[in-house]
Chains A and B, each alone.
Chain A
Amino acid sequence: MKLRNYLHIALLTAISLVLFLVEGLIPLPFIAPGAKLGLANIVTVCALFLQGPRACLFIIILRTGLASFFGGGPVIFLYSIAGGLLSLAMMTALKKSARFSIIGISAAGGFAHHLGQLIVAACAADTLSMFRYLPILGPCGLLTGFIIGGLSARILSHKFD
């Protein structure tokens, strides 16, 4: 990787972390454990399209690591990273198929994020009952992913060099 790529990763990670922290300041109704806006994922989606999955992987790992340092802790890190990685895997696969638009890819990514978190939570708690939350969290992820996808599409419609 060139220095330029490292710089992009560093900048995008910083933006993503700020979005994550800002989101924490916005009061939102509590719907279900783990449900949130996921503003930081605007950066994830944009980075996937601008820089590719490799850079995106770095950004997710760095942001999740730093975010759990600012608040959360190791347990929360574990299930955030599981969500992030499953989401990235899903989005990369869908992007490769070239059949879907940014919004569709992002919505699926949102869903995968919650699915990943639930899988880790189910393993940690050693009970399948965790998946009771899927009917709430799944559509939540789709909706927030849809919105994030729309926002990302707008950002990506500008020219970058």
Chain B
Amino acid sequence: MNKLLKKTDIVLIVLFFALSLLPLGKFGQPELACYAEIRQADKVIERIRLTGHTGVTELTLPYETDGQEKHNHIRIENEHISVTDADCPDKICIQTGAISHAGEIIACLPHKLIIEIKSE
């Protein structure tokens, strides 16, 4: 405890750093045609094909909680999908921004909403 940073600490940090990079190997595959799957409370609500999508498609998903009507506003512009507006408490779904690659995900956990891009 006397020394501030020991050799074992550096080994530990490098080890965890390597561990963090593990998922890169699994998710770094080449891409096939993609579609966005929108799920709410474990039910698939929409499947939208992203590959070849042009123009803008917008949709608003309602979410009922404690008798209040909440919503997430979803925008698909060309091959990118994003949540542009939501009244969830943390707004993480909006801040995640637009996604377009297979395996990417936008999650709005307060509204139990998951948008995941899957390849065919």
Measured CB to CB, the residues of A under 8 A from B are 30, 33-34, 71-73, 75-76, 79, 94, 99-104, 107-108, 111, 121, 124-127, 129-132, 134-135, 137-139, 142, 146, 150, 153
Contact = CB atoms under 8 A, between A and B. Distances in A.
Interface residues of B, number: 35
Interface in B42-56: 42
Contacts of A108: 12-13, 16
Interface of B: 1, 3-6, 8-10, 12-13, 16-17, 19-24, 26-27, 42, 89-90, 92, 95-96, 103-105, 107, 109-110, 112, 114, 116
Given A101-B6, A127-B105, 7 more contacts: A33-B96, A108-B12, A124-B109, A125-B107, A132-B23, A135-B23, A146-B13
B114 A138 contact: no
Contacts, number: 103
6 contacts: A101-B5, A125-B109, A127-B116, A131-B27, A142-B20, A146-B13
A125 B41 CA distance: 9
